[in-house]
Amino acid sequence: KDSVGCGEFHDLIQLVELASMTNMSVIQLLPVNDTSVHDNWMDSYPYSALSVFALHPMYISLPQVLAHYGGSGDAGILSEIEGHRRALDGPTVNYEGVMKAKGDVCGKLLSLYWKRCHRDEEFNDFVEENAFWLSPYATFCAMKSFFGHSDHSDWGSMRNPAYAIKRVLGGRTLKDLFNPDADLSLALPGSSIGSRQGKDPKGNEALLSSFASVMRHAVFVQFHLHLQFAKVKHCAEASAVALKGDLPIGVDKNSVECWVKRECFRMDVCAGSPPDYYSNEGQNWGFPTYDWEAMEREGFSWWKERLSHMANFFHAYRIDHILGFFRIWEVPARNKAKEEVSADDILLPGLLGRFRPVLTIQRSELDARGIWDIDRLCKPYITMDLLEELFGADLAQAVAAFFLFKRHEYYEFKEPFTES
């Protein structure tokens, strides 16, 4: 009842207490990572992560942030929080409303307390221990805000994460962004960024200031999410209750991971599933698949970091679509016959995919089993009965326009229509 618009990490403490009282030993959660890819309601889907390390800002408890700085008596902020709580207390979650309300209040809390962060030992420890993902994440948030979208393939020279981080931070650390005495004026020497190039030093200073503001906000929110969720884990352990997290099979193609570790993902294909009882056309989930060979060359470092980070909050994991870690259904990311159509505009049906890895069947194996009609297995099986059912009175016109007679009552597409 005290949360703003949705359940929050702090609310889980009550659930832990209930589980302990009723002799339940495990609490399982859906994925709780940041999914803010589009900055709209589509991000409410929890399995399309913007970052596998960052926690979702919607789960932050605003009064807990205020209390951390001893500001529980700040009547103005508390009144605003209460106003948002009442406005968002509906029968369903207003995702966009929750994100805006919490983003606005966190921005005000940041403006009040950011100068105190660099003297906060707990904050400094968090930034240092999580710098390996926090710096790319904060920089990504700044780039997303600057360009107006998360499609990092369209960020010009900022497609290169190492270059982008160097240009934005200029050799400084995230902690410097919270030091009011730090000199940040030279982090963008010579020119602005991406498609907004220029050589106006004042313009560069204004640009850096906007970057620093977005990055401070991202780090500040993640710090408090970390504190609040870690407190839940501590309470769960004290109550002999285990927290079970959810490890999704994929990440969004416009995620921090695909920006920083692009070589570890097969960006030209999407994960999905073949046709089955529930979907005649199969499924295309839109996630790039993992390049396991590339990951192995890196010693699976990304997986080790990911699982170690999840251990900060969870005692066990549910592995989503575990079969996909052994073999995955891959669908082409775009229609090769229409290269001008981007993967954002259309997802090809799962029907056009195939398994990877897969053991191929040799022609000799089929011959040995008396299977000779290879076209029957590999091409659309188009019969006269099917055409009559589909086209009815337009049968003759449809056949003349699109099909070639092959044998018996079997037809195949004309060449212009064989592309997927």
Which pLDDT tens digit goes with each residue over 305-340?
Answer: 999 999 999 999 999 999 999 999 999 987 544 444
Q: How many residues does the chain have?
A: 420
Kindly report, residue by residue over 228-249, the tens digit of the pLDDT.
Answer: 999 999 999 999 999 999 999 9
Question: Which residues contact residue 69 at a Cβ distance below 8 angstroms, ignoring those fewer than 6 apart?
Answer: 109, 112, 113, 116
pLDDT at 196 over 60: no
pLDDT value at 207 more than 80: no
Least reliable range by pLDDT among 159-163, 165-169, 203-207, 400-404 = 203-207
State how far the Cα of 23 lies from the Cα of 17, in Å rounded to an integer.
10
Cβ atoms of 237 and 314 closer than 8 Å: no
Which one, of 197, 198, 135, lies nearest residue 170 by Cα?
A: 135
Predicted pLDDT of residue 122:
95
Tell me: pLDDT of 200 over 50: no
Q: CA–CA distance from 220 to each of 107, 126, 168, 362, 419 (Å)?
A: 9, 10, 18, 58, 50
- pLDDT value, residue 332: 93
Q: Which pLDDT band, with edges at 50, 70 and 90, does 2 fall under?
A: confident
**pLDDT at 72 (0 to 100):** 60
Q: Give the strand order in the sheet containing 410-413.
A: 382-383, 410-413, 403-407
Alpha helices, H only, 41-94: 62-68, 75-87
- Contact at 8 Å (CB) between 5 and 93? yes
For the four alpha carbons of 50, 53, 54 and 58, in that order, the dihedral sign comes to positive
Cα separation, 194 vs 269, in Å, equals 27
Q: What is the pLDDT of residue 1?
A: 78
